[in-house]
A and B are shown apart, each in its own frame.
Chain A
Amino acid sequence: MERDDKERQHTSADGKAPPQAGPAVNRLRPWRRISGQLTTLIGESGFCALFGRALRTLAVRYDWLSVDATRKSIDGLLSALEHDLAGVEPAVADIAAAELLNTFTKQLSSLIGEALTARLLEQATAAEQIGPEDVQEHK
């Protein structure tokens, strides 16, 4: 809990910041690519289950992350995340977004191994670098 307290010191008094749509959207960009990549492999429900578990794990430390098991669509989950990230200090949002990605990656790695996870996410990153217009998403 000490770590959570330190992290909260970086936020404003109520732990939240005015919504900032632009950066929050950028923070979601990797998720859109990863979800596109993984949905092909495990389906939307499979991705939502993995993402939901990572979110739940991280919500212990960032209690402003909303966890709702009834959300069954990628759009619904990412919209909620976008809203949550926009509601805190940008620095905290950046850290939380990075940790969420890290948690998700670790959990996926524990299932299919680091090598295959890296390979799959590498493809998502490659698609990211090419740009959204040049790559076909698989949903």
Chain B
Amino acid sequence: MTDKVRLGLLATGVPGLDVLLGGGLTEYSFTLIAGAPGSGKTTLAHQIMFALAGPERRALFFTVLGEPPLKMLRYQQQFSFFDMGLVGPCIRYVNLADDLRAGHFQGVLERIMREVEDFGPGLVFVDSFRSVMQAARSGNEGLSDLQAFIQELGSRMATWQATTFLIGEYSQADVEANPIITVADGMVTLYQAADDNSALRKLRVNKMRGQGHMTGAHTMRIADDGIRVYPRLLPPLPPDLVSGAPVDRNPRRIPTGVSGLDELLHGGLPQGHTMLVSGPTGAGKTILGTRFLQAGAEIGEKGVAVFFEKGVARLRNAELAALVARGDVTVIESRSLSLSVEELMDEMCTAIEKTGASRVVIDSLSEIGLYLAPEVRADLRTAVFRTLAALSQRGVSAVVTVGMEDDYTRLSFSPDELCFLTDAVLSMRFVEYDGELRKFMTVVKVRGCDHSTDVREYTITADGIEVDGKSPFLNGVMVGRPTQKR
């Protein structure tokens, strides 16, 4: 039992935002939503308002001199969260432009209070507050009056027990030097991080009094259903992987679709493992990925194929097309060249959950960089790490391909140290011998499980990948120096 006041937390209705806020929005708080035009401030405010407003908690949305109210309603109603039924009885829009033009903050404040007393809201929004500030600079009343006005507004709204939001076109620099921030209990900044003709939307919680909120910038996106924030967090571990849970020493093995590879893996890929398949162009990585999905379909397992290859290449993959046509595989293909890893994960995880897929193929990590926004591309390893963590959390088995272009004289298994991120690694190599380009593969690792260490020759035929059942007659194939065994 404690006599400390408990802060009521409100669920904002913005996926991911409550995690950043430290559990939700503090009731009766005074929060500043800041950002440049087009950053999503008004949409964020509306999404929160429509999530929280109801007969027991009504909302007053004051518009000042920003976006014209009719246009705001025209565009905001396009979002799925905009519930027409709430407008009127639970949500009221009030325009303060005329009051502000009259030139006195006191008059604006009194108007706000009149509306508040009349409607009795639990939520109050003022959009946009920048215009109030500009009025202060150009009018007779100075900045100190504005600060007093905001102080007074915050104080009155708190007394009224209204959770209040000020929305304004502030940049980060504006806000840090602004007296408003000292008055506000919370502050959320939205912006677009531009890099090399590409921009990623970001959201940052600068301040949230009384709560351990997450710091830093987090990717967000605006779609038909509104804003979704992607906290920079790994997904929680699945129950069987949490500390203290017994370790399964003999996980179920699943067929890869290449029987010779299953032999090398001593019975197939351990269920729930991710396997990196690395090799040069033409080594058969995509064929192996397709066989993996086919093998799943044969035993009733659904699959998701995340393709970063050129669209035409996929269209030529008749076997994959057949799997898709039968509904066994869902293909995810981005047409955006400014993709964030969060969007990719979101789409992939949604497809997994929607179809109940237990197999995923990502083909290939070599091309993923062409699709990712420059900021993400610069840290491909983190992007892959987060994607694989999302797969692991769902317990799906995955084949992830990556192209390798080297001189084949080093025992290298992947670019960017990606081989450390997966549970298993299959290395595929070309060797020129006796006037012929021959293909070889070896299983480099399978975490926690036994596997063959043999190097095997394989061929690509109309039936797929056929692995030779015996060790090759050559030594040194993995380091590009083949010599005949004695």
Which residues in A have some Cβ–Cβ distance to B below 8 Å? 39-46, 108, 111-113, 115-116, 119-120, 122-123, 136, 138
Contacts and interface: CB of A to CB of B under 8 A. Distances in A.
21 contacts: A40-B93, A41-B70, A42-B68, A42-B95, A43-B69, A43-B97, A43-B98, A45-B97, A46-B69, A46-B97, A108-B70, A111-B73, A112-B77, A113-B74, A115-B84, A116-B87, A119-B84, A120-B87, A122-B88, A123-B88, A138-B115
Nearest to A37: B88
B92 interface: yes
Given A46-B68, A112-B73, A112-B77, A41 B95 contact: yes
Contact of A40 (B68, B74, B95): B95
A70 B150 CA distance: 35
Given A111-B73, A111-B74, 6 more contacts: A42-B69, A111-B71, A113-B74, A116-B77, A119-B84, A123-B88
Nearest to A50: B70
Contacts of A115: 84
B74 A112 contact: yes
A49 B115 CA distance: 24
A120 B71 CA distance: 15
A113 to B, nearest CB: 6
Contacts of A136: 118
Interface in B226-253: none
Contacts of B77: 112-113, 116
Interface in B78-93: 84, 87-88, 92-93
B14 interface: no
B98 A44 contact: yes
Interface centre among B70, B92, B94 (most CB of A within 10 A): B70
A120 B95 contact: no
Contacts of B94: 40-41, 138
A46 B95 contact: yes
Contacts of A123: 88
Contacts of B71: 111
Residue picked from A108, A120, A123, A138, most chain B C-beta under 10 Å: A138
Q: Which 9 A-B pairs have the closest CB atoms?
A: A43-B95, A43-B97, A112-B73, A41-B93, A43-B98, A111-B70, A42-B69, A123-B88, A115-B84
Nearest to A42: B69
A42 B70 contact: yes
Contacts of A116: 73, 77, 84, 87
